[in-house]
Amino acid sequence: MNDGPSALAELAEDTTLTRPFSGASPYEEYVHASVLNTLQQPLTEAADEMGFLVTTQVMELWFTLIVHEWRTAREAFVKDDLPAALDALTRSRRALSALNDSWQPIAALTPLQFEGFRAAFGRASGFQSAMYRHIEFLLGEKSEALVNAHRGDPAVHEALRDAHREPPLYDEVLCFLHRQGLPVPAHVRERDVSLSYTSDPAVVELWRGVYAGSPYEAPALLAEALTDIAELVARWRFDHLMVVRRAMGAKPGSGGTAGLAYLEQRARRVVFPELWEARGAL
């Protein structure tokens, strides 16, 4: 293989790198950047609205990736493929970290800055995000009422209805552990997965036993991967709460929720509660 100055000279002479493209570039055909860059349509002249729009749209993309990775992990658990499941969970952890960082462009909006464009989007609200609902359903937080709230969009409604009926990620984790010989009770494995998951003392004891053993065993590595995810989700919810508190205080939410009070209630919900309760039992 050539390297050094001669290789650079050959690269410089490669006309495929400099000649104009006939039609869309390979980059455009793959990424569709021109489509993405037409989706920001501010409704006011407020200087901060563009940042709000981009931030919201970027978060929706991160939601999509996180849902993809959690579904991939869930399928891997069904197949008893722990390495593939852990890989997907690790990728989702990185996506969650990036999602949390996405708050930065709007994290310091003042009430005056936010009011400069808030009225323009009317009753639009992040509460109405269908993809975020998929995230919550995968976390075991089910709500038929929130599925029905999307009846106006048949395709979205059908996808959410299917997700509502499917096992959350954590349920498949527990079924996987049962097949590996860990004592997951039948009433947990056979529960109605269209209902929200609630903590079970026997599962707390299961995780206590996992943590009492070697931290290098597969169940302990899985427990920590799930704990990382739970913590990052909690941080996202708390940051959401703080952004809203800073920008609009305790005003009602634009989508019809109680605003700050609703976010405070969501922030108190613990993801994978038994993993946290087990720590107090050691």
The pLDDT-based confidence of 16 (bands split at 50, 70, 90) is low
Across the range 146-157, mean pLDDT stands at 94
| DSSP structural state of residue 197 | P
Q: Is the pLDDT of residue 10 over 80?
A: no
The neighbour count for residue 54, using CB atoms within 10 Å, is 15
pLDDT tens per residue, range 226-241 = 999 999 999 999 999 9
Q: What SS3 state is found at 182? A: coil
Q: Say if CB 135 and CB 99 are below 8 A apart.
A: no
pLDDT tens per residue, range 42-93 = 999 999 999 999 999 999 999 999 999 999 999 999 999 999 999 999 999 9
Place of tokens 């200087």: 47
Binding residues for heme: 240
Domain boundaries, the chain: 46-278
Based on the number of CB atoms within 10 Å of its own CB, is 61 exposed (0-12), middle (13-18) or buried (19 or more)? Answer: middle
> What does the pLDDT read at residue 23?
81
Fold that domain 46-278 belongs to in CATH: Methane Monooxygenase Hydroxylase; Chain G, domain 1 (1.20.58)
Across the range 238-246, mean pLDDT stands at 95
Structure token digits, residue 272 = 């994978």
Based on the number of CB atoms within 10 Å of its own CB, is 62 exposed (0-12), middle (13-18) or buried (19 or more)? Answer: buried
Comparison of pLDDT for 266 and 195, the residue scoring more: 195
The pLDDT-based confidence of 11 (bands split at 50, 70, 90) is very low
Distance of alpha carbon 225 from the chain centroid: 15
Binding residues: 118, 240
Binding residues for substrate: 118
How far, in Å, CA of 118 to CA of 121, rounded?
Answer: 6
> What does the pLDDT read at residue 124?
84
Q: Is the pTM of this model over 0.85?
A: yes
